[in-house]
Amino acid sequence: MALRRPRLPASRRGKVLLLVPLGLLLLGALLAGVAYSQVEVLEPDEVALPEATIAYYDDGRTELARRGTNRTSVRLADVPEHVRNAVLAAEDRRFYSQPGISPTGILRAAWVNLRGGEISQGGSTITQQYARAQYLSSERTFTRKAKELLIAVKLDRTYEKDQVLEHYLNTIYFGRNAYGIEAAARAYFGGPVSRLSPEQGAVLAGLIRAPSVLDPREEPAAAERRFRQVLSAMRENGWYDGDPATATLPGTKGLGDRPADLLYLEQQMRRELRAHDIDPDQPGLRITTTINQKMQDAARRTAAEVLDSVPGEVRAALVSVEPGTGAVRMSYGGRVYGDAQMLDGVWQERRQPGSTFKPIALAAALEQDIGLRSRYDGADDLDVEGYPDGLSNFGDQSYGQVDLITATAKSVNTVYVPLGLDAGLGNVVSTAYDLGIPESSELEAVPSITLGTQFVRPVDMAGVFATFAAGGEQADPYLVAEVTRDGEVLLEHEPEVERALEADVAADVTHALQAVLGPGGTAAAAAIGRPAAGKTGTTTDNTAAWFVGATPQLSTAVALFGPKPADRLRIDGVREVTGGSFPARLWDAYMTSALEGLPVEAFPPPAFVGEDRGASPSPAAPAPPATSSPDASPKKKDAPRGEPSKPGKGKKGKGGG
């Protein structure tokens, strides 16, 4: 018979159960005490500054941009009380009344983070934020959080509250490479912190939470929302007498004397990093871009030369995309980087492209078996669906019966609107998306779409012509090729290439577009001494003028437009700015320089796909010489067209922005 071990009395079992958690608590307290004793609290000037972030041109060696570090310490007495109050309102309203850690904030953040499975919410006091700055670690782990809490407790016991606030204000990051309130005041407002107004203090305080997305120069709408939030918090605490709803967001200074196009480039680079969930403000990034220094310098130089007589309010945008990869080799977002011109002309501005959109309709027609030799009526004042008062050509010119090559070379509106209708307007829209126009453009299937009356970005049009030049292979344009930090690869871009057009269709499109730069074409003056395919574009009321063209190695879009979409282009001594004038001259000068030293390559010969369709005869009229930009617009609002009789290609579901 097995012996049974005697059971412990209930009282002893209770004591054991009580001693286990007490022992664990004592052990935890002992370990915490050891850790606490070993924690070193640093003075502000002893806190190491992070390593600079550097962006390179496409060679991976030549520096394009650098975000270094800048810090100047000041005494708390030199920081105006309203600026201190703005920081307290934004980050820690109970700073003076609670210990260095906030138990409720920690519990709240812990609950959110446990539900999310990772550290995602801070709950940090000013003291904790300063503790974090000492270790320069932005990793979201429980170990780092525990270390942060220990340092915060020791800081709170070692220093007076005013000392902690002074240390914090001298080390926290405000964006623009500025560490500390004094450096931030000079970076954003050009003067010392002692001269800041309450509103300026609110701007700086609002930046602390997320400098990369709250800079008034880069994200004005988000910055203004945060500005009013801080002012409202100040008013709730009796620190601001004004009305947060009507306060004016103070203007901030520019980002230095660097060329405007490089500032726009850096802005887009930061947007692209954020799109890949990479914080552009984290230290030590090494970013290799797709930008070619020779091409970027050529764009800046030719823009200055060609646009020397053009008023500054006329915006200029140039962008080059490499066919087959989508790599952006040059991006010139504007001549001026300032309050009045915040949007990047290449990546953010959406304008009507005029007749540069016609090749998209041509591609859709070719896919619907309408061949290049098909003939259409090019008479002026044609009765066409969607144009109850008749459709006109640029300059009221008639061209008689013309094939699609001639209609492209001379940009005949009265051919292209019927061509879009024959191809199916739904097919024109889906072909545009396939070629690289983002679906966020929300194109409408209306007759005037072939004349470029809807809104797109210059980078979109450069991407479309890159697809033509690549034989129908489409890749989304991109700027950031690789990102590393401490040797670890955070991003390595691999282009996703998809076939948007059959190679024969693309060959026919480029064949027609080469006629635009040939004798009698609307851009004959832009011939660059090597095979090139391009198209001019001038919009309704002369609000924009374009030239988009490509060689097999490089596709480039050039656009001129006013500050607002409805603003006319106004240049002294010029009655009308057409795509064949300043934009074509810019494209010619830039491409000649950018392609220097590269081998001359030819496009594939035409395949002449599809059927050769005829058209009803028009009244006899001699074909006049080509004008510089034969674009026109409907005389009344276009009527929408129903579903096409023959379905087009499906959408890829691509986004953009």
Task: For 169-295, list the strands marked E by DSSP.
Answer: 178-179, 285-289
Q: Which amino acid is at 587?
A: W
3-state secondary structure of 456: strand
Smallest Cα–Cα separation from 102: which of 132, 125, 131? Answer: 125
CB 322 within 8 A of CB 336: no
Structural tokens at position 221: 């709408």
Which residue out of 73, 91, 182, 374 is catalytically annotated? 91
Q: Which amino acid is located at 247 in the chain?
A: A
The one catalytic residue among 102, 355, 411, 430 = 355
Concatenating the DSSP letter of every residue in 138-154 gives: ----HHHHHHHHHHHHH
Mind spelling out the 3-state secondary structure of 458-500? HHHHHHHHHHHHCCCEECCCECEEEEEECCEEEEECCCCCEEC
C-beta neighbour count of 512 within 10 angstroms: 24
Instruction: Determine contact, residues 269/287, Cβ cutoff 8 Å.
Output: yes
In one-letter notation, the amino acid at residue 146 is A
Residue 64: phi, psi to the nearest 5? -100, -40
Long-range contact set of residues 122-126: C-beta below 8 Å, sequence gap at least 24: 124/148, 125/92, 125/95, 125/98, 125/100, 125/101, 125/152, 126/87, 126/88, 126/91, 126/92, 126/95, 126/164, 126/165, 126/168
DSSP 245: T
Alpha-carbon gap, residue 456 to 320, rounded angstroms = 16
Strand bridging mode 53-56 / 285-289: parallel
Please state, in angstroms and rounded to a whole number, the distance separating the CA atoms of residues 498 and 88: 52
Residue 355 among the catalytic residues: yes
Single-letter amino acid code for the residue at 340: A
In residues, how long is the chain? 657
DSSP letter for 338, please.
B
Q: Do 435 and 474 form a contact (C-beta atoms < 8 A)?
A: yes
Catalytically active residues, by annotation: 91, 355
